[in-house]
Amino acid sequence: MGDDVQRDAARARPEAEPAWRVIRTEVVALSDADLAEIHDLRTRTGYAEVLRGFAHAGRWMIGIALVDTAWRGCGIGKALVAAIVEDARAACVASFAAGVIVTRERSLAFWAREGFTTEVVRLERRI
């Protein structure tokens, strides 16, 4: 995946209805405190991780995007993706990838609405 893969985290939280504030945090090395905060974020409103330089320098990958079930349908996922796309455009990124479990139809529908298309299907066999 290259020598300079970097990981970013972004989270969303309600600031003033109906707007959502997206907070970006670049993570270089994760401490125990960082991991605790990430765990907390994952159990609350919204969270996404972006791998910059995935496969090549001009590609980013949204490795995970989570929205608390109580807040789904309120625009948090859309706000997270919009913030990531804004950063990618500023960095002249050529393309995105997103990791999605194919059995999650609602997730697939969300990513399709956000302009993502199916390009590769990876098959896996567990032994």
User: Was domain 6-113 assigned CATH 3.20.20.120?
Assistant: no
pLDDT band at 11 (very low <50, low <70, confident <90, very high): low
d(CA 8, CA 2): 16
User: Measuring CA to CA, how many Å separate 65 from each of 35, 93, 101, 126, 127?
Assistant: 16, 19, 12, 24, 28
Q: Is the pLDDT reported for residue 18 higher than 60?
A: no
92 or 18: whose pLDDT is higher?
A: 92
Q: Where are the domains of the chain?
A: 6-113
